[in-house]
Amino acid sequence: MVSEGDRAPDFTVPLAGGESYDDVSEFTLSEAIGDGPIVLAFVPGAFTGGCTEEMCTFGSELDTFEALDASVYGVSVDLPFAQNVWIQQEGFDVPMLSDWDHEVTRTYDVVYPDMYGSIESAQRSVFVIDSDGVVTYRWVREGGNPEFEPFVADVREQVKAARR
């Protein structure tokens, strides 16, 4: 399990930028570390109500996170092409990391084993990683969905603390 105080495990995955169906590049966490805090927001799946609400809420706050030199990425087990369609359809600007082989979800120990009674996905969770690559905040959903506006405000406060 990845806990607060641990070095964030490195990974390389496809990055869905959302500009078009095939707007896919490569993202390596270790290459992004050092540019400011990183928020990894794991969601169970594209096109679902709670996940859409969460990514739209993070998207509406991107300017605030960028003002803190922070980068926000959604993470799901969906293929990057589906993530791009989701981004376009819902109109949010949060880039999505495609953990299609479930390795990142397993490494960060946020597996939701039984989505809709049939598939393994990511459990709703958030990690804040500081510029040194250390996890400064870990939240994993217990029970129902949080109210996303106050929740994102809490994450923003954790990003501010990670900048110190």
Verify whether residue 56 is a known catalytic residue: no
Instruction: Using the CB atoms, write b or e for 30-55: b if 16+ within 10 Å.
Output: eeebeebbbbbbbbbbbebebbbbbb
C-alpha span between 47 and 59 (Å, rounded):
15
How many CB atoms lie under 10 A from the CB of residue 65? 20
Catalytic annotation, pick one of 38, 40, 51, 85: 51
According to DSSP, the β-strands at 111-115 and 119-122 are: antiparallel
Question: Residue holding tokens 């109210």?
Answer: 147
Cα 72–chain centre separation: 7
135 close to 8: Cβ distance less than 8 angstroms: yes
109: phi > 0 → left, psi -120 to 50 → alpha, else beta; which? left
Active site residues: 51
